[in-house]
Structure 1
C-alpha cells in the first residue's frame, strides 16, 4: 500500500525576515564576475535604497499579474499598478491573481490586494484608469517603469511621455522603461533609457503594422469586415450613444456593435462580420499563453532588479532587445537595436520618404499604416503651408475631406516637409521630408 503524500503547510513570512530573503542577499551583498564596482553597493544602505525605490507596473493582465508577483518577491516594497480594465471570465485561465468572484472588478485593485495579502510588507497602490489620464508629475515619482501591455498604441504613448520627461540637467528625470510583450508562443523584453538608447519608436519596425483607415472610407466605401466594425465602433456608437460609456468587456455592448457592423456589411455586400471578429477588433485581442507570459515577465523583472541593484549589466546600452520563441523548442536571441537619428520621438532630423506625386492623399494616408516605421491608425497631416487633412474634430474633417481625392503633387512641393500626428503618439509628430519618385505636372499646367 502506498504511503500518503505529506504536504507542508504554506507559510507567510514577513518581508523583513532574513531567512526568507537570504537568496536575494546572496546576490545583493556579493559581487559577481560582471558587477559594476562603481555603482554596486553591498551595504545595508544599498539594499535599503533598492527597497525604497518606487516601481510602476503598467498593465495587470496576463503579463502584469506575473510581473507584480515577481517584483514583490524580488525585494521591491513600493509598487504602483495602473490598468483601466475590469476582470472578465476569459481572463481566469492565465491571469492567476483573479478568481471567479472577482469578475467585474478592477484588475489593478484585485491584483494589488492579492499580492499584498500573500507577501507581507509589500505596498501596492492600484490606479483604475487609462495611462493617458495621468500627468507628468505622476510619472516623475517613479524610479523604474515596467510595461506589460498588449497595445502598441499605449506603449508608444508611454514611451514618448518618458522621453519628454527627460531634462539633461537633472538625471532624476530619466526613468528606465522595461517593456515586455507576448503573442502566442513568442515574446520579447527590452530596456529603454529614454534619450540615451534606442526608444520604442526607433524599434517600431519590429512589430507588425496595424491597418489605418481614414474616416471617410469608414463612412462611405467600406471594403473589409473590419471597416464595418470600426464604423460601428467609432462612428455609429458616437452618433447613437446606446449606452453612457462603451465597455469592451460587456457582452451587451459588443452585441450592439456586432449587429450594427453586420447590417452595414450586408448593405455593402461584405461577408465575414462575426461576433468573435467584432470582439477581436474592438478589444485588439492578441492570443496569450500562460507559460510565455511567465517567461517574459521573469525576464522583465530580472532587468528591473539588475537596474536597481547594479549586480549585473542590464539590457540597454549594449544588447537591448531579447527575443523569445517557444514554437519549436525554446530559443532566445539578444541583440542591439540602434538608435535612429530620424526617430520622431527621440531623434533630431526629419525622416526622408520617397513619394509618387500622382498618389492621392487618401492612398497616402492608408500607406502610412503599412509602413513599419509609422503604423498610424488615425493620422492627421499638415504641410509647411497648410493643413491637408484632420481626423478630428468633425468640423475640420469635413473641411479638409475634399483634399483626400487630390494628388499629393498638387498639395505639396518636392522636398517639402510634412508633419503627421496621431493619437497613439500623444504630443509627438512625425516629420517626413518628401522626395518625388518621378516628375509631376501640376494641375494648373495640365493639358485637359
Structure 2
C-alpha cells in the first residue's frame, strides 16, 4: 500500500518528482516495462493480506523487499503453507515455494535464500532481529524529552483517546498526517524541537534510512539468487549473506540451521480432537492452545473455505459450518492438514499469521485411517 514520497527519490531510481503520491507498485511496473521490452508486469496496490492464499501459489518464486518484520513473517507463513511432507516427515520437493529475501539498514544489508522445509525459514531465524525500542508509557504521557516521545504519544495514546475502536493504519497518509499534527502540538507544549513528517513516519513505521549504494548491492544479490533458482545455472546461496559497508567492504555468508520444531515450516502442529467437536469449538480451542494462541481464526481444508472471518460476504456464506462437526466438514478423514489464518499474540504484539495444523480424530469407528497426500 506504499505511496511514493519525496524522501524515496534519493535512492529509488524508478521514481520521479511528478510521481510523488502515486502507488509505488504501479509506477515501478510502468518504468520497468518502459526500459525492458517484452517484460509484462501486473502491479497490485493493496495489502498483502488482502490476496487469497492461492494467489501466491501461482508464482514459481517469491522475492521479498518488505520493510517490516510482520510483513515478512506473513509472506513466509504463506509460502510455507504450500509445503507438504511425506509419511516420514520429509518435505516433498515439488511443493517447495522458494523465497529470496533482501533488506538494507544504512550501510548494512542482507540477502537470503529460503527453501521451506530444507533451509531455515524466516521464523526459524526471527531471533536475528533485535527487539524494537519501546518507550515507557509514563514517559510519553508525563515527561517527554525527545521528538520521538511526542510522536509515540500521538501514535500510541492520543490516537486511541480520539479514535476509540478505530485501528491506526500506518500506510494511510491521513492517519499519518493526524499523528504528525498531534505530535507537533505536543512538542510545542513541552518546547521540544525536531518533529517532522519524515521523522513521524520513521518512528511509527520503524523506518531506518536507506542508502542507494547499499540498495544496489543487495538488490543485485537477490536478483542473482533468483536467476540461479529459475535457471538452475548454479548452486544457490547457502543461505544468508550479510554486507557491511560502514568501514570498507565486508561480506560474509552464514549457513543457518533449520529449526526442527518451527511452527511455520515444520510438518505442522499435531492436534488430537474428538470427532464430535464442532468447527466453532475448534476455533475457540485455538485461542488457548499452547504455542498457537490464535484469535479471529479462519479455517480452510484442501482449498475449501470452512469458515472465513472476512470479507463479510464470505463470513455469511460459511457461518452455517460453525455448528457442524469438523470431522464431517473434512470428509470424515481420520488425519489431514488444515490451514488456519488468524491473529497471533507475540511479545505483546498482535500480528496476522497463517499456521498449518495436523488434525487427528480419535474414537472413530468404521472409518479407514488415511494418510493424505498433504502429509498428515
Q: Normalising by structure 1, report the TM-score.
A: 0.54
Displacement after TM superposition at 1:342 (Å)? 3.7
1:143 and 2:60 aligned: yes
Change (3 A) 1:121 1:274: same
Matches within 5 A, 1:30-429: 84-168=1-85, 171-211=93-133, 226=148, 229-234=151-156, 236-241=158-163, 250=173, 254-261=176-183, 274-275=195-196, 277-315=199-237, 319-347=238-266, 420-421=345-346, 422-424=349-351, 426-428=353-355
* Distance (whole Å) between structure 2 residues aligned to residue 135 and residue 88 of structure 1: 29
CA contact (8 A) 1:222 1:228 kept: no
Q: What are the Cα deviations for residues 240-288 of structure 1, in whole angstroms up to 9, with x where unaligned?
A: 35999867584x7545313434656788x79677235423212322111
CA contact (8 A) 1:192 1:198 kept: yes
Mean CA deviation greater in 85-94 or 252-261: 252-261
Displacement after TM superposition at 1:204 (Å)? 1.9
* Distance (whole Å) between structure 1 residues aligned to residue 56 and residue 138 of structure 2: 38
Q: What are the Cα deviations for residues 204-244 of structure 1, in whole angstroms up to 9, with x where unaligned?
A: 22222214679x87997787865653442255335535999
* Distance (whole Å) between structure 1 residues aligned to residue 142 and residue 29 of structure 2: 46
How large is the RMSD of aligned CA atoms in angstroms? 3.9
Q: What are the ranges of 5 or more consecutive residues in structure 1 without an aligned counterpart? A: 1-83, 351-380, 391-418, 430-448
Alignment partner, residue 313 of structure 2: none
SS in 2 for 1:203: helix
* Distance (whole Å) between structure 2 residues aligned to residue 227 and residue 161 of structure 1: 35
Q: What are the Cα deviations for residues 87-141 of structure 1, in whole angstroms up to 9, with x where unaligned?
A: 1111111111111111111111111111111111110010011111112111110
The number of equivalent residue pairs is 280
CA contact (8 A) 2:81 2:354 kept: no
Q: Which has the larger radius of gyration?
A: 1
CA contact (8 A) 1:232 1:261 kept: yes
CA contact (8 A) 1:160 1:345 kept: yes
Q: What are the ranges of 5 or more consecutive residues in structure 2 without an aligned counterpart? A: 87-91, 270-286, 297-343, 357-376
* Distance (whole Å) between structure 1 residues aligned to residue 140 and residue 250 of structure 2: 45
Q: Normalising by structure 2, report the TM-score.
A: 0.63
* Distance (whole Å) between structure 2 residues aligned to residue 204 and residue 274 of structure 1: 32
SS in 1 for 2:124: coil
Matches within 5 A, 1:429-448: none
CA contact (8 A) 2:85 2:267 kept: no
* Distance (whole Å) between structure 2 residues aligned to residue 260 and residue 294 of structure 1: 37
CA contact (8 A) 2:170 2:205 kept: no
* Distance (whole Å) between structure 2 residues aligned to residue 321 and residue 100 of structure 1: 35
Alignment partner, residue 357 of structure 1: none
CA contact (8 A) 2:140 2:152 kept: no
